[in-house]
Chain A
Amino acid sequence: MDSMTSIAVASIVCAGITTAFGTMVPSLAEGRAVATALTSLAQQPDASPTITRTLFVGLAMIESCAIYCFVVAMILIFANPFWNHFIEAAGK
């Protein structure tokens, strides 16, 4: 396997693993957050604006972790710096 092939294999496999774990764990966390928020909404419907806003902010915080993983996966596939470096080196 030359270096291009190994870079391609490593990038694709790592992008898959990144997406897998990066969606699994934040979705579990978001599910727990929403479930807790629904419970407290059922108990205290009067506090619904506060609970909803805090829930949104918290969900954004949790989701940003998933977004980091997504950005890393996208960079690995579409804008891989090592890949571009070796393509430039091969072109010279």
Chain B
Amino acid sequence: MPLTPDEMVFWGHGFVKLNATIVFTWGIMLLLTVGSALITRKLSTDLKRARWQNFLEIVVTGIVKQIEEVGLPQPAKYLAFLGTLFLFVATAALCTILPGYSPPTGSLSTTAALALSVLVAVPFFGIKEQGIGGYLKSYIKPTFIMLPFNIISEVSRTLALAVRLFGNMMSGAMIIAILLTITPFLFPIVMTALGLLTGMVQAYIFSILAAVYVAAAVRTRKRSVEPEPKPAPST
């Protein structure tokens, strides 16, 4: 039984292997870019709009509102990064209704890459907002003793992001595969529907957690009264 889509190799030459993860990731990238390019080709500002434009506006304003509620005052700055994370993970989960597809987020390589981009983006936004000295100072914020713990928390939350998404998506695919051998006809459909729900919740959680981490890195200067730059989502 294939544990991840990495093991489905379509084409290989030497050490270059074109496995299902890469192919489906490219497919999702193509779908997202071509789809949004086609929709945004003719935008209108008056009351008469295309349906797809309304759909995209709902999605974008929803993401902006969520980012703002986490505690980032200017969501437009972070919309490109956090919105892309959400859209990619959500599309990867939603496409499971297509037969023969396995989500690329069910491979630890994809989720590790996403988590590493969050690991890079948090200091990037932090340094951009409060300078390199101000950001580095947030590591020794309560006392100097907290320095190793802050560094450990950076690493461990990256690991947690990667393994959480991987485990959820992989478990969905694997439960369906196991059920197909036991009760072939009806029950896997129910589990597929449950997997769609889990995938959306995971996409939401992944992007919200990334937003919370970015907010914690950006806000520490104003909240220097607090003992620790905890990611406490305020209203």
Contact = CB atoms under 8 A, between A and B. Distances in A.
Given A50-B233, A67-B167, A74-B170, A56 B69 contact: no
A: contact size bracket: 10 to 19
B: contact size bracket: 20 to 34
Query: DSSP class of B's interface residues: helix, strand, loop or mixed?
Result: helix
Contacts of B179: none
Interface stretch (B24-32, B95-103, B202-210, B219-227): B202-210
A37 to B, nearest CB: 14
A47 B171 CA distance: 33
Contacts of A50: 69, 233, 235
A68 B163 contact: yes
Query: DSSP class of A's interface residues: helix, strand, loop or mixed?
Result: helix
Interface centre among B164, B166, B233 (most CB of A within 10 A): B164
Contacts of B171: 67, 70, 74
B69 A57 contact: no
A57 B233 contact: yes
Contacts of A67: 163-164, 167-168, 171
Nearest to B1: A78
A65 to B, nearest CB: 9
Interface in A45-62: 47, 49-50, 53-54, 56-57, 60-61
B60 interface: no
A64 interface: yes
Contacts, number: 49
Nearest to A60: B205
B160 interface: yes
Contacts of B209: 57, 60
Interface string B92-125: 0000000000000000000000000000000000
A57 B212 contact: yes
A56 B167 contact: no
A73 to B, nearest CB: 10
B140 interface: no
Interface string B184-216: 000000000000000001001100110010000
A64 to B, nearest CB: 4
A53 B65 CA distance: 12
A71 B163 contact: yes
A70 B170 CA distance: 10
The 4 closest A-B pairs by CB, nearest first: A67-B167, A60-B205, A64-B164, A71-B167
28 contacts: A49-B69, A50-B235, A53-B70, A53-B208, A56-B201, A56-B204, A56-B205, A56-B208, A57-B205, A57-B208, A57-B233, A60-B164, A60-B205, A60-B209, A61-B160, A63-B164, A64-B163, A64-B167, A67-B163, A67-B164, A68-B163, A71-B163, A71-B167, A74-B3, A74-B170, A74-B174, A78-B3, A79-B3
Interface of B: 1, 3, 66, 69-70, 160, 163-164, 166-168, 170-171, 174, 201, 204-205, 208-209, 212, 233, 235
